[in-house]
Structure 1
Amino acid sequence: MNTTDKLKLDSYQEVEQVLDKNSGIYESDAPTKGEVAKFTVYKTGLFALGEKMDAPAEWLVVNKKEIKNKLIASLFPFSNNLVCFANSNGNTSILEQVDISKSVLAALSELNLIQYTESCIKIAQDNLAQLTDYAITQESIISLQTDLGDFLKNRTDRLILMEDKKTSNKAFNDLKKKTNQFLKTVLDRSIERYRQSHPDFVNHYFAARQTAKGIQHPYELMGYLTDEANGQVIGEGKVTAEKLGLRVDISPGGTFRFKSFPTGDHRLKIESIGYKTLYVPIRRFQSKPCKLNISLQALPLLEPHEV
């Protein structure tokens, strides 16, 4: 599978884990429960097809070379003996069929090599009684047939595996498209209905869905600060992630960014001159950057004292 497909499966795996962990939320919601079950079937099918697509074939390729070399190693002296037999008997017909150099033999295509080997075996069987003096016996014919059989089996196994991979790839793409459509038009909408009652569940679900996009963000946590009373940008101060040892400055544009920020539950301490210090609890889910819009309350102006 390519990287995009692997990200897609990672996303589906994470989505399934979120749904399983929060199954009590939609347990009594029959339509949503049925949709989740349908998604699980799709996901299971995709993983099974993915395994077929990634089934290793290197061993067959290695075996192909070894088995072909073994076949040629027994075939060339066998055919050379047939050449000697044809020359001694002046049989030009046999000579034309079997006379070949070892380099040309090694360069034959698989089909031509199979055809040539079968031709040599047939000639030997037809003339077995006259071949005793040329080191060709029933046993040597059987040995060559065995080597040819190993070569044929390896070739068949490779063709079956390649065809299976091709078929699995098409089925995977078709099911992936079907699953994407189902999520976008059905399950996503059903889960969205729980945003008011179970916001953490919904946020976690859609964070898992983002995994498939493989989006790279320049930050993992970002905030935008404004004045609670007038909405003006607050362009100075600092933000500290308590207990994490992380701290950033607030930019003149009213933003702060943490390029790297751990998942889980944390608390930010936001400080700016002229404003009340604000403590903000946050929860960041894996695979999704966290973006905050925060308003700070200005400190009351001190009344001047009369002298």
Structure 2
Amino acid sequence: MNTNQEDRFSMYYVVMNTCDKYKAVWETNAVFSATYNLWVAKIPLIEQNRDAQILETTGITTNKTARRATMTEKALFVENRLQSYANVENNPELLESIKYTVSDLKKARDTDVIGICNTILARANAHAAAIVAYGVTADMITDLQAAIVAYTTTLANPKAARSQTKTATQNLSDLFKESDTLLNTRLDLDIELFKITNPDFFSQYKTARMITATGGGGTSVLGRVINAGSGEPMKGVTFTFYAEPNGTMKAAGGEKVKPIVKKSADKGKFRAKLPENMYRVVVEKIGFKKQEIVITVANGESTNLNIELEMN
């Protein structure tokens, strides 16, 4: 998400939390309830596409590179042993069919390097019994075959990840437009139903609808949350950042600064763009012990936040 979308999504969380707090007030009102349920259904869709958008393609590419290196290393060893065997047996046909250099495998395109390795594999299988004496066991041939298969399966992953990111970006744009339309043309009007009957709900809703801009001089807080018991990353953990009153950030007109809410993605990671200030951070997820910590966000500096949550 871009900065504007992050700011709006943070506002969505505050609106949702406010409405949940007063659910007993509006749930029997058919008009407000219908509008709210339509709007709140957009939030998990935004979360899903946000998670897809920030998919780490770097890790996928790194995995592909590592598997190629493993495959070529095994292939070159087997090729070397086959060449030794071919020289001893005076088999120029075999020798000519596997004359590949390290540079050949390094520079070959993805599909070409697979073809080269498959050629070496085929020659190894054809002379499997004979090359045992040259240091190539049946397990080594099997390992080479497995390495070729493992590398082949990674070829489409980076492209698929980029395509997924592009699709998610477009989906987010559409979902934010739909969500904002529901807020602006319906929920913001329907809240007037409670202006007299429940002024606290009305007032807090209006405050929740204010967007706190975190762009400009803000600095990102990068974090990751894991399950303390299993070590697995945790998705859907809520991080609420409350600006400390003795910090540097002040709201216009002396009003209280709205909290900024973020949720962790699939790999337990999140990013929050926050103005320079001191924050009390509340970390919570149903079924786990709530944590509260205080961090200082300095302008121009990166703040890392790593959390381990314990089950209740």
In 1, Cα distance between the equivalents of 2:249 and 2:156?
Answer: 53
In 1, Cα distance between the equivalents of 2:122 and 2:163?
Answer: 32
Q: Which residue of the partner structure matches residue 258 of structure 2? A: 286
Q: Which residue of the partner structure matches residue 142 of structure 2? A: 142
How much has 1:199 moved relative to structure 2? 4.9
In 2, Cα distance between the equivalents of 1:167 and 1:261?
Answer: 37
1:21 paired with 2:11, answer no
- How many residues end up aligned between the 2 structures? 230
| Corresponding letter in the other structure for 1:28 | T
What runs of 5+ residues in structure 2 fail to find an aligned partner? 217-244, 260-312
1:187 paired with 2:187, answer yes
Moved more, 66-75 or 206-215: 206-215
Asked which structure has the greater RCO (Cα within 8 Å, sep 6+), the reply is 2
TM-score by length of 2: 0.59
The structure 2 residue matched to 1:260, chosen from 227, 242, 250, is 250
Contact 1:4–1:212, Cα closer than 8 Å, also in 2:
no
In 1, Cα distance between the equivalents of 2:42 and 2:121?
Answer: 52
In 1, Cα distance between the equivalents of 2:99 and 2:5?
Answer: 52
In 2, Cα distance between the equivalents of 1:196 and 1:137?
Answer: 84
In 2, Cα distance between the equivalents of 1:118 and 1:125?
Answer: 10
Moved more, 38-47 or 78-87: 78-87
CA 1:3–1:102: 2 relative to 1, 3 Å: same
| Corresponding letter in the other structure for 2:110 | E
Q: Which residue of the partner structure matches residue 2 of structure 1? A: 2
Question: What is the CA deviation profile of residues 15-49 of structure 1, one whole-angstrom value per residue up to 9, with x for unaligned ones?
Answer: 10111122343233211111111212111221132
Q: Which residue of the partner structure matches residue 110 of structure 1? A: 110
Moved more, 53-62 or 74-83: 53-62
Q: Which residue of the partner structure matches residue 35 of structure 1? A: 35
Q: Alignment identity in percent?
A: 19
Contact 2:251–2:257, Cα closer than 8 Å, also in 1:
no
Contact 2:53–2:169, Cα closer than 8 Å, also in 1:
yes
Moved more, 69-78 or 21-30: 21-30
In 1, Cα distance between the equivalents of 2:129 and 2:147?
Answer: 23
Aligned-partner SS, 1:118: helix
Q: Which residue of the partner structure matches residue 178 of structure 1? A: 178
TM-score by length of 1: 0.60
CA RMSD of aligned residues (A): 3.8
Aligned-partner SS, 2:20: helix
In 1, Cα distance between the equivalents of 2:53 and 2:5?
Answer: 11
Q: Which residue of the partner structure matches residue 91 of structure 1? A: 93
Question: What is the CA deviation profile of residues 102-123 of structure 1, one whole-angstrom value per residue up to 9, with x for unaligned ones?
Answer: 1331233322222221222123
